[in-house]
Amino acid sequence: MGAESKVPQHIAIILDGNGRWAKQRRMPRGYGHIIGCQNLEHMCNVIKDKGVKYLTVYAFSTENWKRSRDEVEGLLKLFRQYLKRCMRSAKKNKMKVRIIGDPSAFPQDIQDSIRLLEDCSKDYDQMFYQIAMNYGSRDEILRGVTGMIEDARAGKLPPEGFENGKLKEELFERYLDTAGIPDPDLMIRTSGEQRLSNFLLWQLAYTEFCFVDVPWPDFHEEELDKAIAQYNSRDRRFGGVKEE
C-alpha cells in the first residue's frame, strides 16, 4: 500500500468460499471452515496492524441452519473453540468483541461463552471487533422495530428522537445490533459472489463494496491491500457530496 493510502476506519467482511475451497481440494466442507477460522485469526491481527479501528465479519447467518446437520454441528464445534481463543486474542490486542445477531438459538454453552467473551473485553478500546453469529439483517431490523414498539408502549421513547413527528434515524439505530458502531466504510466479500446475503442492509447504505474472486482461506494481506487500494481509488460521495 502506498504511503498516502487512507485506511478505512471500519471494514466489514463476508467470509465466503470455505466449503468450495475445501471441495476443490477433495476435502470435506468442515475442513474449509477450520482453515477459514485460522485465517480469520491471522487476518484480524493484520487488519489491526493496518490501523483499522472496527472490523465486522459475517460468520454464521440465520439461513445457515438450513445446511446439513453434520456441517452445522461442525460449525458449532468450531465456534466453541474460536470463542475461547478469541478471549486470548482480545486480551492481547486490547480488542472489544461484540457478537451481533440473535445468540438465543445457540446451545447454552455457546451463549455462556459469548457473554464471557463480551464481558472480559468490554473495557478494551484499541480495536472493536463484531462477529455476526445467527445474524440476518432483516431479522435485526425486525427485532429493532419490536424493541422500539415495546418502548413506545411503555412511554420510554425520548421526544428528541423525533423531528416534525417523524422518527430520526439516530433513534432507530439505537435498537440495531450495531448501536454505537460507525457504519462500514468498506465491505469485502470473498469467493466471487456479488450479493449482500442479508448482511448489514441498513448499515451498508453508503459503503464501498469490493468483491474478490479468492475464497476466504486464500484471502491474505496482499488481497486486503488490493481491496484498500480499490477503496482509495473511488470518490466517496454522500448524497452527491464528496467526502473530504
Catalytic positions are 16, 64
Taking the C-alpha atoms of residue 205 and residue 201, their distance in angstroms, rounded to an integer, is 7
DSSP string for residues in 25-50: TT--HHHHHHHHHHHHHHHHHHHHHT
DSSP element (H, E) containing 77: helix 69-93
Q: How far is CA 157 from the centre of its chain?
A: 28
Phi and psi, residue 132, nearest 5°: -85, 110
User: Helices 108-120 and 69-93: crossing angle, nearest 10°?
Assistant: 20
Rg value, the chain, Cα: 19
